[in-house]
Structure 1
Amino acid sequence: MDKNAILPGSGLVGRIARKAVAEREAEYAGEIRRLLDAALDQVRRGGPNARPRVADIVAAAGLSNDAFYRHFRSKDALMAAVLADGAERLADYVAHRMSKASRPEDRVRGWVAAILAQADATSAADTRAVLCQSGALGADLVSGQTGSAPQRLAVLLYEPFRELGLRDPEHCAGLLAYAIVGKLSEYLWSNIEPSSVEVERLVDFCLSVAAAETGKGVVKDRVPETP
């Protein structure tokens, strides 16, 4: 081999190649984000029975059919990605709300309140849109699929439950995540926004379950921290 040959990944050649890859990755990420947002907007506008066409989504995103099929095999694949994106955004929001509290009891309180906040007037339309599409895909909000909303949300309870002394925080967190997300689904389909009293009742329920697991009794009568 010629010792003076330039290796593909070295020096100037490597830097140019890596720059081109990074630019293409950023371009593709932008296209995917636009398709996800356009799909959700089309469903929101169309209501519960909306079944947007690929052509409508592509037009709303300002992209081409080639761009669509570069990232998704079908409309169902895109809508599955919309569901996963919604679960990820919800988990990020809940984690942010929980981070404002230091005591484990108040982090659990923040967890419940943040999930049920998806039923308020400003968030319900988007959440219902996602629910409608999940039904169209033969899934639901409390699906047991990897990366589903309950699974992502359950992970956020592991640490506060450990601090409360639970021996098996994963098991307890998983059960409560399915229960609270199921309650959220009920509020959404009933078009009801939970009151602060109802939210606090569910907080007490979660803390009571945690307390029963530790054998320490119900964790109550503590003043919640100010967010």
Structure 2
Amino acid sequence: MDKNAILPESGLVGRIARKAVAEREAEYAGEVRRLLDAALDQVRRGGPNARPRVADIVAAAGLSNDAFYRHFRSKDALMAAVLADGAERLADYVAHRMSKESRPEDRVRSWVAAILAQAEKASAADTRAVLHQTGALGADLVSGQTGSAPQRLAVLLHGPFGELGVRDPRYCAGLLAYAMVGKLSEYLWADIEPTPGEVERLADFCLSAATAEAGHGREQGGP
């Protein structure tokens, strides 16, 4: 063995090094969170026509320009991260709403209602403002990129669809997630809040699609 080869440290040296790395990771994660929150707050305050500068965001976050460029190449990169963070938060919110239901049918209905709740006045303005700021990047809301809103939301239907006997839960859930996020986008851009009847109709549609797919699987000799 090469005596000059660098081997992983163990014992005291290794513990100290790992502690330093963990502390730096926590520090950087805190910086990113502060930048994301500050950017969202700047957009919320300024509305869709505002154009917050990097200097404004950095000042609101209480950080330096060095800290900003340590994590983001540009303001566009930051706003893309704000959009992705919103998709992650949406998925967490939908999952929380679904967890309150025990029957798979009710979890699907809760999934639909939680997604469309983003078009309610309380949150729609913020979402539209972020989409305006991201410009073409706003397509990420419905794009096929890993971690996009439809992909995150589709995963939440795998369980209930499996319980309902859907032959290919991933396929069916993916189609419905793209359709539902597309419908949400329509409501957001039109500044329209869906009525309870519309929410129920869309939930019925999702359940009908799941039922049809389950039936098709049985006709093809599936389980």
Q: TM-score, normalised by structure 1?
A: 0.87
- Quote the residue 1:11 is aligned against: 11
- Matched letter for residue 26 of structure 1: A
Aligned to 2:187: 187
User: How do 1:61-140 and structure 2 match up within 5 A?
Assistant: 61-137=61-137, 139-140=139-140
Deviation by residue 1:157-192 (Cα, 9 ceiling, x = unmatched): 111111111111111111111111111111111222
Q: Distance in 2 between matches of 1:76 and 1:64?
A: 18
Pair 1:15–1:81, CA change in 2 (3 A): same
Amino acid at match of 2:76: D
Deviation at 1:148, TM superposition (A): 0.6
For residues 110 and 68 of structure 2, what CA distance do their matches in structure 1 show? 38
What residue in structure 2 maps to residue 25 of structure 1?
A: 25
> Which residue in 1 is equivalent to 2:221?
none
Is the 2:32–2:71 contact (alpha carbons within 8 Å) kept by the matching residues of 1?
yes
Judge conservation of contact 1:131–1:140 (CA < 8 Å) in 2: no
Residue in structure 2 matched with residue 174 of structure 1 by the alignment: 174
Matched, 1:35 2:25: no
Task: Report the Cα offset of residue 22 of structure 1.
Answer: 1.4
* Structure 2 match to 1:164: 164
Question: Could you tell me how far apart the structure 1 residues matched to 2:11 and 2:211 are?
Answer: 60
Which sections of structure 1, spanning at least 5 residues, go unmatched?
2-6, 217-227
What's the C-alpha RMSD, in Å, of the aligned pairs? 1.8
Q: Tell me the matched-pair count.
A: 211
**Which structure carries more helix by proportion?**
2
Superposition deviation, residue 20 in structure 1: 1.5
Deviation at 1:121, TM superposition (A): 2.2
- Which AA in structure 1 matches 2:198? E
Mapped partners of 1:106, 1:180: distance in 2: 17
Deviation at 1:19, TM superposition (A): 1.7
Amino acid corresponding to residue 119 of structure 1 in structure 2:
A
Whether the 8 Å contact between 1:86 and 1:130 is mirrored in structure 2 is no
Seen in structure 2, the aligned counterparts of structure 1 residues 125 and 171 have a Cα distance that, compared at 3 Å, is: same
TM-score w.r.t. length of structure 2: 0.88
Q: What is the letter of the counterpart of residue 170 of structure 1?
A: R
d(CA) in 2 for partners of 1:86 and 1:198?
24
- In the TM superposition, residue 136 of structure 1 has moved relative to its aligned partner by 4.1
Deviations 1:103-161 (A, max 9, x none): 11001011001101111122212222232234343624211212110111011111111
